[in-house]
Structures are given as C-alpha cells and as structure tokens.
Amino acid sequence: MLFSVFQMSRQGGRKTNEDRMGYCYTRESVVLMLADGLGGHPEGEMAASIAIETVAAMFQKMAQPKLADVADFLGDAIMGAHLRILNYAHSKGMPDSPRTTLVVAVIQSGQVSWAHCGDSRLYMVRQQQLLTRTQDHSFAERGRQRHAAAMPTPTELNRNVLFTCLGSPVKPVFSVAKSVTLQHDDKLMLCSDGLWSILPEHDIVSQLSQQTVEIAVQALVDQALLQAGHRGDNVTCVALGWQAPDTPAAEPESLADTSRTPLDLSF
C-alpha cells in the first residue's frame, strides 16, 4: 500500500478540546479514527481518548498484518469502545457517564470500509466529486432525509441533538458501510462537527480535490476556525490520500510505503 496521511486538531472558543483522532497501520491494513467528546456530560475528552485508544489497541492485536473480517472489526471496535467508557464511569462512581462520537475507517486489500456513531463524519472524494459521506445520527439529519423524501418533518426542539453516542446507558446505534474499491487519488477525510457545520460541502470537496491532504486539511481547519469566530467549536481532521500501485508519487515527503513498515501508531 502507498498512501499519504495528515491529521490536525485545533482548539476553538471552548475551554477544552474534547476531540481526539489518530491512525495506525501495518504493511497491509490502515485504520483512521476520530472521536468528539460530548459537551453537557463530564469528561468528554476522556470518552474520546478511550474510544481512540480502544480502536487502536484492537487493531494492533487483530491486524496480523490484515484483519480477518473488516466489518466484524468495525462493529467490535465501536462496541468495545462503548463498553470501556461505561467501565471507566463505573470505576469512578460517576452518576453521569462520559460520552463521545466515533468514526472509524479501515483500508485493506484496495478497499475502504467505515463505521460511525454520532455526527463525526467521513467524506470520500473522487475526481473532484463527493462520492459519499456518512449520515449523522441526529434529529437534524433525520429532518433532512424526510425533506428529501418529501415526507412531513415533525417539529422538534434541539434537532441538532444526537439520538445516539458511545458511553450512554442505552446501547448505541451505529452504521457500518459496505466496502468501496479505492482508485488512484481518492481522498478520505474524517472530521468533527466543528468543521463540517461551518464550511459548505463544496469547499470541503474543492480543497480535497485540488490539494494534497496536508495542504487541504490545514486550509479547511484554518477556514473553519476563522469563520466560526471566537465562540467556535474545536476543529479536528484526519485525512488520507490513496496512491495506486505503480503510480508516481505526488507527495514523496509524506507518503507511507507499508511494504517496509511493520506497524505505526499515531494518536
């Protein structure tokens, strides 16, 4: 495998940055992860950290050097993170548990698969077009889907509130996508709502299409922080650019050739 990856997290106008992100890889598999701790509950940053650490540890244990079943790994990783957060809350005697979103993507055998819980998103861009993005587990997203289907939309207070997350006493709802075969120069980006809630979708697609992932991520994060102002949310991204085999490298300084790499952990 040959790919470039770049990650960045910047604190907005919040007292703390509860976002966490990371990536790991073996010579045959890659995992990208991003979590956004929920405000209104204690220790959101701890919930996000536990989620990322859990996925990374499971990947390190199970990718030898490939995952036996990617879909099973994704589901097990999300539930494993959820249970570890609950165990943490129980061990601390916390009446209200920490909570977080989570989005995870795995690249293996020339394909990408992903899963998510909450409203941290994955974007996939190909040939200057948005190929797909995750659908938020929020009442606002349900409203958009009803509108697109010409269905009556119920009036709801706080429609941006999530209806599921990790760390809640209720079993989380999560989505696992079917795998997509990668093509040369495909771009994947995982991001927190501090980015996508501020920037138009066409700005995200344009930057990822026209720039390297390093330049695109830095530009998008800076733009989101500037437009959000001093009260804006934290902004976090991790992005990957896929390099097809036998294709000249466009970003030689940041490319990872996993044929020579046993394992990397970066989170």
> Which CATH number covers residue 144?
3.60.40.10
Question: Could you tell me what percent of the chain has a pLDDT over 70?
Answer: 84
pLDDT digits (tens, 9 = 90+) for 111-166: 999 999 999 999 999 999 999 999 999 887 765 655 444 444 444 445 468 999 99
Per-residue pLDDT, 244:
79
Domain count, the chain: 1
Q: Is the pLDDT of residue 38 over 90?
A: yes
Average of per-residue pLDDT across 191-201:
97
Neighbours of 182 (CB within 10 A): 21
Residue 253 has pLDDT above 50, yes or no: no
Is residue 134 within 8 Å of residue 114, measured between CB atoms?
yes
Average pLDDT of 207-213?
98
Question: What is the reported pLDDT for 140?
Answer: 77
Q: How far apart are CA 140 and CA 78, in angstroms?
A: 23
Reference 219, options 30, 19, 27, 6; nearest CA is: 6
Name which residue leads in pLDDT, 59 or 161: 59
Mean pLDDT, all residues of the chain: 89
| pTM over the 0.85 mark | yes
What range does the domain containing 24 cover? 2-266
Lowest mean pLDDT among 135-149, 182-196, 246-260: 246-260
| pLDDT tier for residue 265 given thresholds of 50, 70 and 90 | very low
pLDDT the model gives residue 159: 41
Q: Can you read off the two tokens belonging to residue 251?
A: 């970003």
